[in-house]
Structure 1
Amino acid sequence: MHREHTPAEPVDLPTRRAAGCPFDPPAGLAELRQRSPLVRMAYPDGHVGWLATGYSTVRAILADPRFSSRYELIHYPFPGGPEGPLPPAPVGDMTGMDAPEHTRFRRLLMGRFTVRRMRQLTERVTEITAEHLEALERRGPGADLVEVFARPIPAVMICELLGVPYADRARFADHAHTTMSMDVTPEERYAALTGLVAYMEELVAAKRAEPTDDLLGDLARDSGLTDEELVGIGGFLLAAGLDTTANMIAHGTFALLSNPSQAEALRADPDLAPQAVEELMRYLTVAPTGIKSALEDVELDGRLIRAGESVTLSFEAANRDPERFRDPDVLDLHRAAAGHLGFGHGIHQCLGQQLARVQLTVALPALLGRFPTLRLAVPADEVPLRTNMNVYGVHRLPVTWDDGNRPA
């Protein structure tokens, strides 16, 4: 039974993770969820809105069209964010759209991201994974798994999906990596973003002139989208499909190596992979937070959310809600974790979730099977975490293994 929390006492959004707990949400989230799944929250700009931490509450808001995803209507929940109202979503950024604009874009893309079509890519994902495992073994023990495995696999897949020519992939990947890196200056990040947009404009022009058998080629041929919309969609799919999947591969490996019995269970039974991926998505929740704005007064959980008030959705707290998942703080690859919110819910549920599932289902058991002695090369508390980024995970994952130790 949740205890009531006085609406006149807005809380701050908990963001500090406990030392030595790289896979757990900030501890304050569980305490707030125990009080009530929906509490008043103070935003850095002075706005007083809400924080949703309960699974049922978060899921209900995600499915409710009375809540908007438009950036210009929401208040930013994290300190150090932009001053003043946020600008509207860039053209093609579906995350910041509502219906009917969102519906128009989503309908065009849904047929190109079906479960059947993504499963057809399994053979190609398997080939790419094998190529990177071979390269990893050739270089010998000791590597940053992010650089040599977790990031390259989704980078190759998104390039092939969009139709980026092989000769351009190094340039494309370099721009994409720089825009998401915390180790560069703002000027370097802006230059990379400008370069990425310029490249996407070149690519769209090429697809218009000679459509190819890939996603951008298909859209250029018969979608009715403008060049600006195609450029925006390309950038959106890049951002959505690269960073999150790369972090799930790396952070998922970190979690498995930190839970040897779970790693061994997956190594012993690769057919467990689809179920394991769902549990890792729930347990890690690398995209931990969402934001909505009420378009009208909404009564929920006995509280009245006024029109114009922002609601911060803690997916990581919802995915650890004991009212939905038994022993939620335990990583259990045999758990039936279906229904987790790691891919969101409702009309904005992750468009590329099936592609992400394919990559994770192939990459994780293949890595563990190829390197039975794979382990961290540094103490777990020395692995650098992405605590100040929208997508949580690791900046680097130093690993090693016993040279020549291959499965029989």
Structure 2
Amino acid sequence: MTDSVAFPQGRICPHQPAPGYRPLTARGPLAQVTLYDGRRVWAVTTRDLARRLLIDPRISSDRTNPAWPAMVPIVAAAVGDAQQKVLKIVTALVGVDDPVHKARRRMLIPSFTFRRINALRPKIQEIVDQQLDHMIKNGAPTDLIPAFAAPVPVTVLYRLMGIPDDDHGSFEKLSHQLAAGPNANEAYDQLMDYMGTLIAEKRRNPGEGVLDDLLAKRGATGDVDHDELVSTLVLQVAGGHGTTGNMIALGMFALLQHPERLAELRADPSLMPTAVDELLRFLSVPDGVTRLAADDIEVDGTTIRKGDGVFFITSLINRDTDVHDAPNSLDWHRASAADHLTFGFGAHQCLGQSLARITMEIALGTLIDRLPSLRLAVPAEDVSFLPAASFQVLTELPVTW
């Protein structure tokens, strides 16, 4: 444990783990890594231990705990006074422990069941077709991200939530400012005002979105906690469409670099559901999950102490050789394709995973079906991406057809 690996580290290829993590796979399943400020924390690198710990009640998600580990300085700064409202949104669902987390999650589960999401396939297909029609009409070459990969999940998720189409642009702008802008608190206040107006309208004219469901459960005339509703909705929107948009872009980038796998999908579209899970495993767009030990935990002779940070490195866990044969290759016939932790595991497993899967399936399937000559417009090595350590993002994806 003396030669601690620096953590986190950026990738040099957007769909491969950071090369600097290689020593961790040899030391796993549990190894110490060092954060930017010199703090030693634990890194989990195997599937079985990750599952075991992620359901352990001694592993906490409470981001308000002063001992919560920050991977980079900007995350540490985000808990300062200027970002308290952002922190409030983060802790609305994913940043709290039971029983609060369980109660809030139960409130949303009926809106995100597989049956309900699967019934949205025709509407998702319509959104995908309309966006692709627009992209084709504008002509090639184009940047696939703003032309297709980003707007598709935004539109899908906003409509599912019950946000009117005319408000998508302003809601998106405020959500972005809330997550990344210097005026986060102002954006929070504006979203609160917007939500109050929208709630009043939906009480007069109920619809079929998630917001309508939440209001119905509280009664047509009951008091509604605006803070709770806006926090829950913004967290679902910001966490959902950004992740899915990047998965679509990175997925297409990976497919264009593996023409033999792409040819298999074109020849047999029934492979697409498995291909989506294999891409989710292979890409590991969210590179890790952060937790905090709320008590001492014994792990095969090693003690994780109370207050220790614990990081689950998804890009390594999803390539566990005890689970996946030849894990560095894409294989649509892999029986273990769905055995990944890209959406997390346990009580905090991503609530919107069915929506993400189906949106990816329809978006990628429609792209390769309608544009059989789709290809990169620049050499693969010229495609730019942010070598982020926690979330993989292509900054552009120039394509032609």
Answer yes or no: same fold by TM over 0.5: yes
Matches of 1:34 and 1:97, distance apart in 2: 33
Paired position in structure 1 for 2:121: 122
Corresponding letter in the other structure for 2:42: W
Relative to structure 1, the CA distance from residue 24 to residue 197 in structure 2 (aligned partners, 3 Å threshold; closer, same or farther) is farther
Counterpart check, 1:379 vs 2:379: yes
Paired position in structure 2 for 1:13: 7
Tell me the secondary structure at the aligned position of residue 296 of structure 1.
coil
In structure 1, stretches of 5+ residues that fail to align are 1-5, 402-408
Matches of 2:61 and 2:45, distance apart in 1: 18
Which residue of 31, 46, 57 maps to 1:54? 46
What per-residue deviation string (whole Å, max 9, x for no partner) do you get for residues 128-176 of structure 1?
Answer: 1111121122112211111011111111111111111122122223333
1:90-101 equivalences under 5 Å are 90-91=88-89, 93-101=92-100
CA shift for structure 1 position 33: 1.4
What per-residue deviation string (whole Å, max 9, x for no partner) do you get for residues 80-114 of structure 1?
Answer: 43259776941563110100000001111111111
Relative to structure 1, the CA distance from residue 85 to residue 361 in structure 2 (aligned partners, 3 Å threshold; closer, same or farther) is closer
Paired position in structure 2 for 1:145: 144
Matches of 1:38 and 1:282, distance apart in 2: 20
CA shift for structure 1 position 195: 4.0
Matches of 2:42 and 2:321, distance apart in 1: 21
Matches of 1:206 and 1:335, distance apart in 2: 49
Corresponding letter in the other structure for 1:288: D
Matches of 1:147 and 1:164, distance apart in 2: 21
Corresponding letter in the other structure for 2:11: R
Paired position in structure 1 for 2:76: 82
Relative to structure 1, the CA distance from residue 99 to residue 126 in structure 2 (aligned partners, 3 Å threshold; closer, same or farther) is same
Paired position in structure 1 for 2:264: 265
Matches of 1:14 and 1:105, distance apart in 2: 31
Contact between 2:124 and 2:156, CA under 8 Å: does it hold in 1? yes
What per-residue deviation string (whole Å, max 9, x for no partner) do you get for residues 197-251 of structure 1?
Answer: 4433432343345432211011012147522111111111111211001111111
Corresponding letter in the other structure for 1:17: R
Which residue of 45, 62, 66 maps to 1:70? 62
Matches of 1:365 and 1:179, distance apart in 2: 33
Corresponding letter in the other structure for 2:206: P
1:301-340 equivalences under 5 Å are 301-336=300-335, 337-340=337-340
Matches of 1:306 and 1:83, distance apart in 2: 25
Matches of 2:14 and 2:232, distance apart in 1: 33
Paired position in structure 1 for 2:213: 218
Paired position in structure 1 for 2:297: 298
What TM-score, normalized to structure 2?
Answer: 0.90
1:126-205 equivalences under 5 Å are 126-177=125-176, 186-187=181-182, 195-205=190-200
Relative to structure 1, the CA distance from residue 273 to residue 309 in structure 2 (aligned partners, 3 Å threshold; closer, same or farther) is same
Tell me the secondary structure at the aligned position of residue 81 of structure 1.
helix
Paired position in structure 2 for 1:357: 357
CA shift for structure 1 position 191: 5.5
Corresponding letter in the other structure for 2:314: F
What per-residue deviation string (whole Å, max 9, x for no partner) do you get for residues 341-400 of structure 1?
Answer: 111110000000011111011110110111111011111122121323743131211100
Contact between 1:320 and 1:328, CA under 8 Å: does it hold in 2? yes
Matches of 2:389 and 2:310, distance apart in 1: 20
Contact between 2:240 and 2:356, CA under 8 Å: does it hold in 1? yes
Matches of 1:398 and 1:297, distance apart in 2: 49
What per-residue deviation string (whole Å, max 9, x for no partner) do you get for residues 314-361 of structure 1?
Answer: 011100111211111111222221221111110000000011111011
Relative to structure 1, the CA distance from residue 149 to residue 194 in structure 2 (aligned partners, 3 Å threshold; closer, same or farther) is farther
Relative to structure 1, the CA distance from residue 122 to residue 192 in structure 2 (aligned partners, 3 Å threshold; closer, same or farther) is same
Relative to structure 1, the CA distance from residue 62 to residue 223 in structure 2 (aligned partners, 3 Å threshold; closer, same or farther) is farther
Paired position in structure 2 for 1:254: 253
Corresponding letter in the other structure for 2:208: D
Contact between 2:149 and 2:245, CA under 8 Å: does it hold in 1? yes
Deviates more, 1:343-352 or 1:156-165: 156-165
Tell me the secondary structure at the aligned position of residue 307 of structure 1.
coil
What TM-score, normalized to structure 1?
Answer: 0.89
Alignment coverage as a number of residue pairs: 389
Matches of 2:277 and 2:17, distance apart in 1: 18
Higher RCO structure, 1 or 2 (CA under 8 Å, sep 6+): 2
Paired position in structure 1 for 2:201: 206
Matches of 2:163 and 2:240, distance apart in 1: 14
1:276-291 equivalences under 5 Å are 276-291=275-290
Matches of 2:259 and 2:185, distance apart in 1: 41
Contact between 2:8 and 2:71, CA under 8 Å: does it hold in 1? no
Relative to structure 1, the CA distance from residue 389 to residue 395 in structure 2 (aligned partners, 3 Å threshold; closer, same or farther) is farther
Paired position in structure 1 for 2:36: 44
Deviates more, 1:167-176 or 1:340-349: 167-176
What per-residue deviation string (whole Å, max 9, x for no partner) do you get for residues 13-55 of structure 1?
Answer: 141323xx33101012232111222112223344322111122
In structure 2, stretches of 5+ residues that fail to align are none
Relative to structure 1, the CA distance from residue 210 to residue 143 in structure 2 (aligned partners, 3 Å threshold; closer, same or farther) is same
Relative to structure 1, the CA distance from residue 145 to residue 176 in structure 2 (aligned partners, 3 Å threshold; closer, same or farther) is farther
Matches of 1:200 and 1:112, distance apart in 2: 19
